Structure 1
Amino acid sequence: MRSWVYKFKTTPRWIRFLFLTAALLSAPVAVSAADIRVAASVDNTEITLEDVFNLKVVVEGTQQAPEPEPPTLPDFKIRSGGRSSSLQVINGQRTASTTFSYQLIPTQPGNFTIGPFTLKIDGNPYITAPIQITVRKQESSAPSESVVFAEVSVPTHQPYVNELLPLTLKVYRKVDVRNVNVELPLDAFRKQELGPPKQYHRVLKGVRYDVYEWNMALYPLRPGKATVPPALIELDVVEQKPSERKRPLDPFFNDPFFQSPFFQNQYQLKHKILRTEPIELDVLPLPETNRPDPFSNLVGQFKIDATLSRTQLDQGDTLTLTVTVEGEGNPQDAVLHLPDAGALFKVYPDQPQFTRSGGDDTIAGKKVFKYALVPLASGTLTFPAIRLAYFDPRAHTYRTVHSEPLSLTVTPVENAASLQTVEPQTGAPDVRPSLQSPVEDINPIHTRREDFSDQSTGSGFWIPVALGLLLPPAAFLIFARLHRQRQRLQFDTAYKRRVTAFTQAEQRLNRLAAECNGDDRKTVQELSQIVRAYIGDRLNLQGTAFTPGEVEEQLRNRNFKEEQITATRQLLDKYEILQYAAGQHSDPETLLAESRRLLETLEAA
């Protein structure tokens, strides 16, 4: 014991200091209810609809506080930003705290009361004090005065029911933005995407903007008043911080190169919410006057064509009737009503197939119907014309198109009677054999007793028996497992995101590698989005607007290895430096390979 004391005293002072500090930090702390304090705060008490509240609930006195229960806030969307813990030692006194972060997104202007948040620690309840906040409506300003704004448009405000209504959403920006997310609830419409988002440049009143554009097709479902609700666009605006260090007497360090974010860390992300104006629609009903019968609610402009696979065949053979409906509007909803040809043909329909075409402002395509025809007579037969009725919204009237009648020649066959349905015979013919050869009649003759023993239970008999007994339960277990996994993928969103995260990220990486056009900054931006989206799906985090520090904390809370956490933090920091630091360049292929290795490492964890 004395030798250990002697060795400790002879140890250098800085090592003894570190040892005592580690022992002090690792010692348990007795926390009483009187030592615990809970408080909530926001970063701003007055914002506009374009901003968000960052709220923190701080629990002082413990690092093991449970998640607080948030209040009911119908006028806000609440997003959790995770938790963080801290421990400070000042003059031998330790102070522990836990901080829970939230993001509140307002949905309408007004004065509101936030709180209280409630939680229980060791059976004792704690609540935060309420916070009064104000949300103001964003003051309208000219587009040229805004660094980022959004607009939505439709070609008409009086569409018909089931008429194709193209909708265009555009986000204009003249600053760098990140993590763009669009939300547009359209419960009163049937919608369909019109191609992938586009990105281009546009000049408005002498100001150059970068434009993100989304296009989708809307189909009104009911006549009467309808509203296209405001689109909610969330994004992070990259803002430049003012330099804190001025060197007016040193022109060398006043060079813009040394004032870049790489040297001064002069950028920050500001989360913004853009909302478009709602669009009021007066959906017109399809007129009752002159409505054709039958009519399958087809709206647009269409044409129809019909062909036969052959025009000459023998009686009893079959041929294929192909009917193509092509046009613009809602061709995928086309339904055919064939004319009655029961006396001449037997008709067997096949599953129709739809192929979409058209650009970013319309839906066009063709729907192909196929039928198997069996002629019931011989000679020259004619399949009647096929009619298709639709409503033309441009002409505000119903139209009917039809195919041409189709003729074919059916050649009779000599044994045509054999083509008729054969009924089973009621009487059995007498097929008793002759008894002239009695030896062949009773052949073979068995004279040994062993010939009458059961020879079917040898070694080869039990193999199929065992397979027959084991395969059904094994197949049932495999099916049950697949069914449970399918059900979980359908109803467990977090599990589905985790399972499909790597596949989606790998597909995006392969697509980026194939489409790489030499734009280093754009490649880095896309890689950052891919990695952040993977981390968000893998950890079930909302959005992708999290900092490298927050990612590091989330990975550590989920017990990832330290080398994986460090590699992830370094790569995310590298993305930000390459995007926003002046004069920085990267090798896209090397960065792609590094990103792929990181995702594979995280997926294997």
Structure 2
Amino acid sequence: MNSTGKIFLLIFLYFIDLNLNSQITVSAWVDKKSVPINESIALTVSISGASALNPKIDIGNINDFNIYSSGRSSNISIVNGQITSTVEFSYTLTPKRTGKFIIPKIGVFTGNEKYFTKEIEVEVTPPSFNNQSRGQIKQQTQPGRKTHTMTRDEMIFVKAFTDKKSAHPGEQINLTIKFYTAIPIASNPQYNPPNYSNLISEELPPPRTGTEVINGVQYYYAEVKTALFAIMPGKATISPATIIAYIQPKDDDFIDPFDPNFIQKFFSRATNAEEVKLQTKPIELSINPLPPPPPDFSNAVGNFFITAKTDQTSVNLGDAINLIVEITGKGNVKSINSPEFKSENFKVYDVLSSETISKTNDVIGGTKKFTYIISPTKEGDIKIEAIKFTFFNIDTKKYETIYTNPINIKVNKSKDGKTYDFDKTPQQLSEISKKQSDINYIYEKISPDFIFRLESLIDRYSTIINITAILVLLINYIITKRQESIESNPSDYAYKKALSNFKERIKKTKAQTDPKKKLTEIYDSIYDYISAKLKKNITHLTFSKLEIEIKNCKSDFSTEILSKLKDLIERIEFLNYASANLNNDEIENIIKDSINIIELMEKEFLK
């Protein structure tokens, strides 16, 4: 075999081993592809593989939805010495406006490589309220109807409150931020959470939306809850939260807040909206110290139970056993440390941990799983003694110690017939050959016959293989550099692709059968194009403010083109909200005019 072939063979085998040991699979999915604007979507991101235990998820490029973390679950399996983990991140997404949107590729960084999920298309429809709730609202609001003029502060406001004013460290405190409005809004409100002092937070999705009657007035509300856990005794503070809403301007037609169907009209006037910023008041909490703890207290606060099991109960001396200890209950399971495991009969090599978080009925809980990799140190029938776990029971306000059940293990002679004495000194243990490690996992070696046949093939086709390898590396380099460029400057990439993305969306729009949806898609495509060129979200701006933004970006932008753009937008709005029936000729004219105007704008931006 020539030297080039040998080098290629080494590289080939290296990459085979690399792929087998570090293969990562990432995926993302939603629970539904169509959702009313007053409801939410559940998004799940899953990562599986040998190095998937602590991935970092990048969801910062999801711009059309408000994002709330719903929890994380993880699982570890150890088979023949190979550790494989699966981690799932759950999120709740609430749409900001109606239309068709793309959840972009989500980046997953595992420490060595960055992976991406596939894009997901979601349609957001107008709000959905059943007939029964409408009737109930009507009965509640009509008898108490008021006639006096309400102030702006009475018609739109936000409240923040906690379910308790004092707590122990580690005890759950629920914070509620509730936004009310009796004024039509252009989209779901945007929530900017507060900052916390001496507290850690865990979101409690999904956000709730609906209607509520206060003093005879019907309000639309949006509610966000967060679980808080105090870190140490003393004071804890919650800074003001900010709510950004887009409402109808004062000079627009007023929608009667007592109208039982007024909620359905909120999301139909998104084209001429006024931004309103609201802030909650700061909140101060008193954190009381825990009673004096016992020596073996694990710093866990909640209400838990513990179990233990092994993956096998009969092993050979020198084999590994996975001892799995699970602590389940309510409380912040992320903060639970591994219970101490000591035994003269077993040697502990490593401890791995994972958790599954639950948020049922706004209560944080779940399971913390610890996998102890252990090996017996002697033959015979031996026992894994009960493992204890001490925590502060938040229900009884007392410390409790709980235990696992003992586990019996039968240890047979080692496979080679030797006896291992783990108490011997390193000099005495040196008699053991390197091939006989104290933990024997199955490892299947590549046969010599396979290597010989592979070498023959490489010798015969070495030139073709080398050229192919160079081409693959070159293509991979180009793709990698292009992807790095996109990731480092996503706004620049969107700027360059704005026109082609616009035309692609318009092309798909032509296949749409519903004229109203066609108009909505054309309208959204125009605004998304301008957002990409300005490198900012201008969805909720009035045209006068939009014109200012374009002029700020490019002061010499053609006034004539802006005038044509204004006429086009006004035509779309008029047809969308005023026309009951639309014909295909009108839609086709709108499409042609949209393409012409956007192409003119593209030339202006490139000047």
TM-score (norm 2): 0.50
Give the TM-score of the pair, scaled to structure 1: 0.50
Structure with bigger gyration radius: 1
